[in-house]
Amino acid sequence: PRLSIKGGSLGLGGGRLGTVKSQRASLSLGRWSLWLLQLRLVLPSASAQALSYREAVLHTGDCINDGSTEANLYRLLELDPPPEQDMEDRGARKPLSFTVKETVCPRTSQQPPEQCDFKENGLVKQCVGTASLDRSDDQFDLNCN
């Protein structure tokens, strides 16, 4: 199966307070915020408004799971090195390339993909596309095969 996300949003959806969707989004946002804080302690970014290459890949990886109709979550398997381009121009769209693999966690679970084991003989997908490293530009183009 082929997954294609075009013009996706990196933001987490909201909703009315008290709804299952907003509760799920709040839980997801809380886990994501904690994870990003830990990542920043290890890999400080050059600018508070800029995403690192790895953060941009992780954002798009979350969107793969959010937009998927497949049974299980996917998790980052391999991060291809960023191209040798000027990574300082954060507003310009940058090529992304990474591999994800199916995990044992059902897509409907509240489990963060990082805590899920890879599924034995799970599907592996190579993802390529472009994204901006500017946090204010949440648009990206991504194809995963």
Domain boundaries, the chain: 45-144
The angle at the Cα of 123, spanning 117 to 129, to the nearest 5 degrees, equals 105
Let me know: does 140 contact 10? Beta carbons within 8 Å. yes
Following DSSP, what letter does each residue of 15-55 receive, concatenated?
--TTSHHHHHHHHHHHHHHHHHHHHHHHS--SSTTB--HHH
User: CA-CA distance, 44 to 37, in Å (whole number)?
Assistant: 10
Report the predicted TM-score, pTM, of the whole model to 2 decimal places.
0.62
Is residue 27 pLDDT above 80, yes or no? no
Of 55-59, 70-74, 110-114, the one with minimum mean pLDDT is 55-59
pLDDT of residue 67: 83
CATH of segment(s) 45-144: 3.10.450.10
Average pLDDT over residues 91-114: 90
Q: Which of 124, 126, 53 is nearest to 94 (CA)?
A: 53
DSSP-based three-state secondary structure for 96? strand
**Tokens, residue 60:** 């798009």
Query: What is the overall mean pLDDT for the chain?
Result: 73
